[in-house]
Amino acid sequence: MKKNYLFLLLVCVLFGMHRNLAQCPAGEWPLEITIVPDDYPNETTWNLLANGTEIAQGTYLSDTVCVDSSSCIRFDIHDSYGDGICCGYGLGSYVITLNGNQVASGGQFATLASHSFNCGPGTICENPLSANLGLNLSPNNQRFFEFTPDSTGIYSFSTCGITTCDTRLWIYNSCQNVDYSGSSNGAMYYNDNNLNCGEQADLEVLLAAGVPYVVRIDYGQNIGNAQTYSYTGSPQTFTAPTSGIYTLETWGAQGGDDGQTGAKGGYSKGTKYLNTGETLSIFVGGEGANCTVAGGGGWNGGGNAGDVGCSGGGGGASDVRFGGNALGDRILVAGGGGGTGCCGTPAGEGGGLNGNNGSGLGGTQNAGGAGQGAGSLGQGGHKSGDGGGGGGGYYGGGASYNDDGGGGGSSYIGGVMNGVTIAGNATMPNPSGGTMTGNTGNGWVKVNWADTACDGNIPFMITYVGAMSSVLPIVKLTTLSNPINNNVKVPVKMEIIDHGLGQLNYSNDTIYSYEGNILAEWQGFTGPYYPKKNYDFDLIDGQGNKIDTSLLGLPAENDWIFKAEYLDNTLLKNSVAYYFARKMGRYAPRTKHCEIFLDGNYIGVYTLTEKVKRDKHRVDIAKMTSADTAGSALTGGYIIEMNINGEPGAWNSVYPPINNATSPHAVEFKYVYPKSDSILPVQGNYIKTYVDSFENALNGANFTNDSLGYRAWIDVSTFIDFLIVNEFTMNYDSYGRSTYMYKEKDTDGGKLCIGPPWDYDRAMDSPPSSGWVWQNCHPLWPFPFWWSKMYTDSVYQHELACRWFSLRENELSNGKFMAYIDSTANLLYQGPAERNFAIWQTLNGVPYPQQVLNLKVFMYQRLTWIDQTLAPFEAELPTVQIPQDTTVCVGITYTAPYNPLYSYNWKPGPETPEITLTTPGPYLLEVSDAFGCERNLPMNVGISAPDSTFDPSSNGIEYTFTGNNGTSSQYLWDFGDQTPWGNGLQAVHVYAVPGIYTVQMTVTDTLGCVGKSSQTLQITEGSIQVGIQPNPFENNPTVVHNLPNDKAFTFVLYDAAGRKLKEIQNPLSPFTLDTSGMAYGTYWLQCSYMGQNVSKVLVRVE
């Protein structure tokens, strides 16, 4: 097969040489097209146009075409996959030579690269007129001007207020992808109908000093009038009422029925400039007849039904003709649908550029569809037997075989700009408004135009507005000697403008958050081949020594990368993958978005990314030296990688990859730390032997055994987390490529771990329910057998499901993904994304907000698919419940509901169900089972610690004590003199004798939380206080006093005659005075303490 391929290439080369040597007729020049294809040559096609008319087309094969030496030539090269022919999958290229002079070359593009040459001044991008600041004048429509700014900043290009005609503006930084039909494809910036000035155009854009830009000005596409043509069965005419751009739309007619519904008509659209009074011929196709014999083809090319039985006629095409009524005058065609037979294969719908197939084939751009009766130019096929007729079209569809349906006619967009075709089985505009799927019934033609077209001499103004502002940090890189390249790091000056989150940064700021030199080179295996480069750089001091420094708030280090995210039209994928890997508790590179200028030229949005290396803030493993050759020191730390990147590997696995049928590579390992040029043989042999042992154990018969199988060698939890990150992102660049592993010393765990994750810019772009990445595999990168083998372990399956559903509870919830994507994209919406994609044309017509929305839809669908796929493993999360919010007394011990099957881990706190709560704040209880099914239970703890302070005050000998915790609490007062305690928010006390007393207050809040405090008072004056309640009394009054109960004192009761009735020693206050048996009348109660006597009168009444 390879020999045959080489033979074909040789034939092609020889044929190309033969054509190159051929002589062209007088007045014509040879145009040589030399194409070196990439690894997928069948994706490549090209077209050649002279003065807007196609004169040749081809594939990836080189060719030579003779062209009129006076023609304006345009060469278009297409890639159906959208990645050009260089440099992701092969180093393809093309070179165009006209009459011996090279006029174009390239290889790096998306879906289309376009080059024009041999054209008049201003008529093509490559030969522009000159434009300057101030007022400029375009002599005609569709003119190109070159403008070179003096300063980097924001420039205004506008026709607002200086013309009344409808205008459009484009700005290009390259002529490679100009779409001459009038779309915005290939333009950095484009505007039609500015919101501030109606039909005029206005742009405010970022341009770099000294860079030549091409400004294009043309008539606009504002639609103010419309005329709709329905089916009449004869040609109709439209006359242009004014000069300007006209938008033309055509709908093909439906095919006829016979037991099955006739196929629907297609749609086409385009624009054309018409001068006042010029005419268009309108041909509206008729619907094919139902159940007819030998007739019934719709007017304007519908093929008749079969000559036998009852079949449907083909639908007629609808078209617009300019310059005459012949088929060769058609400039826009919508194909008609094929007619049906009684049964069998349904009819094909009208095109699309090609009609859809029935039993008879659809018409194409070059020939009628094959069938029992073939289609032809403008005419659907007809058959002699029973079956449907072919649809009319640019080329008609073929009549059916047997009793089946005919093919649809092809559409055509030959003599218009901005051409679009839609097949009859797809969504298209409805001539009455809205949309529909295919056209039913007769066809339609619609002509739309504006009232205010231009007649030439279009004025436009160029104005310098000011410096660029950005919500992202701005990085200025200035090369100091050689350009940054892919071979050796070169010195570069780096200045970072970063005023902090929420603050604007300006490109002309001179206050830098970082200013210094770096050593930089291009980064990546395929990255250097893309137009937007990644940059690997080291921070250095003035002597060229590496220095660890924080950048944009990230932990200090000296090795960094500016990731271009060129293949990621959201600019978010790496950041999303790394952020959620970190939320899972693993290290992944930290990132910060920024905008970069290189040597004064704006080069877009980049992601400052931590490079994977050993560091306490990155892969935190032990440092190794040349002395680490034995014992525990030899066992770590190591970092290795699996990465097919053109550099030599350290060793290959003895086991083939599971995709060895398509991948030509072995599973290859490389040294990362220690590096390959510094690792000792004994160290390299150790880590190789360790990995070999893991693979052998996994491949062995006892691979599920804890001590004999793979678990003895690896940290399975890291492999599960690595799989989860790769699977929710659907990253086919991982597992066997861009995959890191590390190993710590045996004294620090010692098992082989996988990670951190790396390189996700191609991820999140596959059908989200198309299976496991580890199972489907990338066809080229070698996937080790590990993942498929571990998946056969039921314990591993259970662990995987447990970990997944545990993470889905919080860290990987739908809401967390959507919130992070929104918050990050919201910064990029504010100008950075627009500026980035203005210079890097990779959106392929899908606006940036839609790209972000597509990412969110992908994430939701992918997460749902994994949920559904892992659900059968019946991973049950722990059912423990704790309060989410609680307030407790300081120092209380809280115990979570206990289950002996679960492990408990408080963060912060102990690995037990119990925790003593002393400080307020968020706590997290991790509850897990033996399989790792884990539930994270948050508990926000408030600590109630009553305010136990109080304020003393005195009024003579009387002291008042007031608490500070409010009236809702309970208070107890110990006055320090051995008297009974007081209570209440405020307590009043009189000390019996002078002295030093310690007053203590105990406060209890509504939760029962207790607080205590004390103060020491110096009492200089005392007074014995005795009270009797009630007085007068009927019987047994209560006596209160302020005498300390640890001192000797006496109460004596006397009658009115002075006779002693009773004596009481040291009674506690309060006490009850027993007056039973005493007569009514007056008595004296005398208190004696430390030589002082206080007497009180008592009166007993009836």
Could you read off the pLDDT of 93-152 as tens digits, one per residue?
A: 999 999 999 999 999 887 888 888 898 899 889 899 999 999 999 988 789 999 999 999
**Is a pLDDT exceeding 90 seen at residue 513?**
yes
Quote the DSSP letter at residue 310: -
Fold of 950-1019: Immunoglobulin-like (2.60.40)
Report which residue type is found at 207: L
β-pairing verdict for 318-322 and 279-283: antiparallel
Give percent above pLDDT 90 in the chain: 72
Is residue 1083 pLDDT above 60, yes or no? yes
Task: Please state, in angstroms and rounded to a whole number, the distance separating the CA atoms of residues 541 and 171.
Answer: 41
Q: Which pair of structure tokens corresponds to residue 1059?
A: 């006779």
**Tens digit of each residue's pLDDT (9 = 90 or more) over 450-466:** 665 566 688 999 999 99
Q: What is the pLDDT of residues 1001-1042, one digit of tens each?
A: 999 998 899 999 999 999 888 889 999 999 999 999 999 989
Q: What is the pLDDT of residues 144-198, one digit of tens each?
A: 999 999 999 999 999 998 988 888 999 998 887 788 777 788 888 999 878 778 7
CA 476 vs CA 518, 598, 601: distances in Å: 12, 6, 9
Secondary structure string (H, E, C) spanning 536-578? EEEEECCCCCECCECCCCCCCECEEEEECCCCCCCCCHHHHHH
Spatial contact of 178 and 125, defined as CB atoms under 8 Å apart: yes
Query: Do 1062 and 1098 form a contact (C-beta atoms < 8 A)?
Result: no
Q: Using the CB atoms, write b or e for 760-774: b if 16+ within 10 Å.
A: bbbbbbbebeeebbb
Question: Cβ distance 892 to 944 under 8 Å?
Answer: no
What is the 3-state composition of the chain as percent helix, strand, coil, each rounded to the nearest 5? 15, 35, 50
Q: Helix, strand or coil for residue 11?
A: helix
Looking at residue 929, its amino acid is D
Q: How many residues does the chain have?
A: 1102
Q: Is domain 1026-1100 classified as CATH 2.60.40.1930?
A: yes
The pLDDT value given to residue 453: 57
Tell me the average pLDDT across 336-353: 87
The tokens of 909 are what? Answer: 């706190």
Mean pLDDT of all residues in 282-306: 90
DSSP 684-711: HHHHHHHHHHHHHHHHSTTTT-TTTSGG
Mean pLDDT of all residues belonging to the chain: 91
Q: How far apart are CA 392 and CA 284, in angstroms?
A: 11
* Percent of the chain residues topping a pLDDT of 70: 97
Q: What is the per-residue pLDDT across 730-783, written as a single tens digit (0 to 9) for each?
A: 999 999 899 999 999 999 999 999 999 999 999 999 999 999 999 998 888 899
- What average pLDDT does the segment 422-447 reach? 93
Domains 885-944 and 1026-1100 share a fold: yes
pLDDT band, very low/low/confident/very high, at 412 (cuts 50, 70, 90): very high
Task: Answer whether residue 6 shows pLDDT above 60.
Answer: no
Residue 885 corresponds to which amino acid? Answer: D
State mean pLDDT over 977-994. Answer: 89
Rounded distance between C-alpha atoms, residue 686 and residue 634, angstroms: 8
What pLDDT sits at residue 259?
66
For 284-300, what is the mean pLDDT? 89
What pLDDT digit, counting tens, does each position of 783-826 carry? Answer: 999 999 999 999 999 999 999 999 999 999 999 999 999 999 99
pLDDT band at residue 903, thresholds of 50, 70 and 90?
very high
- Between 30-39, 182-191, 245-254, 561-570, the lowest mean confidence (pLDDT) is in 182-191
Bridge partners, residue 274, by sequence = 244
Q: 988 falls in which pLDDT band (50, 70, 90)?
A: very high
**pLDDT single digits (tens) 50-76:** 887 789 999 999 999 999 999 989 899
**Predicted local distance difference test score (pLDDT) of residue 455:** 62
Q: In the chain, what are the domain boundaries?
A: 2-117, 130-219, 223-449, 467-569+596-610, 631-814, 885-944, 950-1019, 1026-1100
Q: Are 589 and 578 in contact (CB under 8 A)?
A: yes
pLDDT at site 5: 36
DSSP secondary structure string for all residues of 251-293: EPPPPPPSSSPPPPB-EEEEEEEE-TT-EEEEEPPPPPPSSBS
The number of C-alpha atoms within 13 Å of 867 and in the hemisphere containing its C-beta is 13
Kindly calculate the radius of gyration of the chain based on its CA atoms and give it in whole angstroms: 44
- Please state whether beta strands 474-479 and 444-449 pair in parallel, antiparallel, or not at all (unpaired): unpaired
Instruction: Record the tokens describing residue 676, joined without a space.
Output: 């390959």
pLDDT value at position 454? Answer: 64
Evaluate whether the domain defined by 885-944 bears CATH number 2.60.40.10: yes
As given in the structure block, the two tokens for residue 672 are 């990362």
Q: Please say whether the beta carbons of 948 and 923 come within 8 A.
A: no
Q: Return the pLDDT at 456.
A: 67
**Could you give the strand order of the β-sheet that contains 225-229, starting from the edge strand earlier in sequence?**
225-229, 444-449, 244-251, 267-274, 417-422
pLDDT digits (tens, 9 = 90+) for 1028-1078: 999 999 999 999 989 988 889 999 999 988 999 999 999 998 999 999 889
Continuous segment of H or E residues that includes residue 49: strand 44-50
Q: Which of 547, 525, 528 is nearest to 538 (CA)?
A: 547
Q: What is the pLDDT of residues 846-884, one digit of tens each?
A: 999 999 999 999 999 999 999 999 999 978 889 899 999
49 versus 590: the higher-pLDDT residue is 590
Rounded to the nearest 10 degrees, the angle between the axes of helix 716-729 and helix 573-583 is 150
Cβ-proximal residues to 633 (8 Å cutoff; 6+ apart), any chain = 624, 627, 745
Q: In this predicted structure, what is the pLDDT of residue 223?
A: 59
pTM for the predicted model, two decimal places? 0.67
Q: Got the DSSP string for 916-985?
A: EE-S-EEEEEEEE-TT--EEEEEEEEEEE-----EEEEEETTEEEEEESS-TTSEEEEE-SSSSPPEESS
> Which residues, 6+ apart, have CB-to-CB distance to 1014 below 8 Å?
998, 999, 1000, 1001
Single-letter amino acid, residue 572: L
- Residue 418's pLDDT is 74
Res. 895 pLDDT band, cuts 50 70 90: very high
